[in-house]
Amino acid sequence: MRITLISKACIVGAYQRKLEEIAAHDDVHLTVVVPPFWREGQRVSVLERAHVRGYELIVAPLALNGHFHLHFYPSLARILRRTRPDLVHIDEEPYNLATYLALKATRRMGTQALFFTWQNIFRRYPPPFCWFEQYVHRHSAGAIAGNVEAAEVLRAKGFRGPLRIIPQFGIDPELFAPMERPVGREFTVGYAGRLVAEKGLLTLIEALALLGGHWRFLVCGAGPLRQEMETRLGHLALLGRVEFRGQVPSAQMPEWYRQMDVLVLPSRTQPNWKEQFGRVLIEAMACGVAVIGSDSGEIPNVIGEAGLVFPEGDAQALANLLATLRDNPDQRQDLARRGRRRVLDHFTQARIAAETVDFYRSLVGARQAC
């Protein structure tokens, strides 16, 4: 089974571990197409080569790099003619130009393709993006949705093909693993991720102000909300309890998760956004850290019975959950154990790769049976 996967996300070294796991299946011959870099605003992410065993990695130039909806690979048709895949996995949203052009190239070769979507809000796009989306929905052999609501949106928009709900990437449980914590350490509430309003950080600060007692707040991340956070914490006379670590490389994050007693993801749904997954949750859970999340988007489905959930924006409810975990170390430890187990069962790179390969087999097998 020859698979060609097209993914700008796979320039990230940690994400390439899933590719090795896919390629480890005996019936898969995997080729992966990535750009040399991806530009997002002022930030440029350059291709890392961390996990590249067992598959062919092709670096292809990307036209309109940095334009989320309009980028594309000019050399893709030539690459597909050489790799002759049985199935093309387009790791892009269906309304993007890259998806539309990749699917057209695939169909000209007489083969089939699937696409990936995170989009968990029902939106109508203007031309030409609605045309791209309609074409992709009509002609794709299948789709992978990264969360439950994204699958619901696809069906509501009329996609009728085979559909699986599989997160885009998992974690490496050997890197993200528990470690013994110092006895007597002050109760530490953690946050990791972008410092932006939609992540609900002002709700978390309000909850900490209501918490009382002893605690410290560890923040790993960067973003435009930092100044407002520091101002708010200063007005509440809490700034001395907070440590801002800035942006931390992914490979170093386990060290910081292990300094937390609980990680909070207090996301707040916006008119044009709600939480699509919450990767920091599974990273913290894998490290044996209890987690609390709001009920925005996919967060409750990620946490399951392995953590606590509060109504988004409800600072008092969040403060109550924080107090419960601070004052009940046995409950924290129980959630930590359940979180680690949930990650091992559902969210490792190996597990996600296995589910993805199973979907590949079903699509290729159905075509061969026709």
pLDDT of residue 42: 82
pLDDT of residue 185: 81
Q: CA-to-CA distance for 41 and 24, rounded, in angstroms? A: 36
Quick one: how far is CA 207 from the chain centroid?
A: 26
The answer to whether the bond into 128 is cis (omega within 30° of 0) is: yes
pLDDT of residue 370: 62
Report the chain's mean pLDDT, rounded to a whole number. Answer: 96
Tell me the mean pLDDT in the region 165-178.
96
- DSSP 8-state class, residue 181: P
Structure-model confidence comparison of residues 249 and 107, the more confident one = 107
In order of their start, the domains of the chain are 2-170+348-369 (3.40.50.2000), 188-346 (3.40.50.2000)
Q: At what angle do helices 201-211 and 315-327 cross, to 10 degrees?
A: 50
Q: 243: pLDDT confidence band, cut at 50, 70 and 90?
A: very high
Quick one: how far is CA 12 from the chain centroid?
A: 12
Tell me the mean pLDDT in the region 154-161.
97
Tell me the mean pLDDT in the region 130-135.
98
Residues 356, 25: contact at Cβ < 8 Å? no
How do strand 87-90 and strand 56-59 relate by DSSP bridges?
A: unpaired
Q: At what angle do helices 76-83 and 97-108 cross, to 10 degrees?
A: 40
Q: CA-to-CA distance for 66 and 40, rounded, in angstroms? A: 5
Q: Coil, strand or helix: which one is 364? A: helix
Structure-model confidence comparison of residues 212 and 292, the more confident one = 292
Q: CA-to-CA distance for 69 and 212, rounded, in angstroms? A: 46
For the entire predicted model, the pTM comes to 0.93
Q: Coil, strand or helix: which one is 179? A: coil
Q: CA-to-CA distance for 68 and 97, rounded, in angstroms? A: 9
Could you tell me what percent of the chain has a pLDDT over 90? 93
Nearest CA to 125 among 153, 146, 149, 148? 153
pLDDT of residue 43: 84
pLDDT digits (tens, 9 = 90+) for 288-340: 999 999 999 999 999 999 999 999 999 999 999 999 999 999 999 999 999 99
Q: 129: pLDDT confidence band, cut at 50, 70 and 90?
A: very high
Query: Count of CB atoms within 10 A of residue 65's CB?
Result: 17
Q: 123: pLDDT confidence band, cut at 50, 70 and 90?
A: very high
Nearest CA to 73 among 7, 146, 142? 7
Residues 261, 332: contact at Cβ < 8 Å? yes
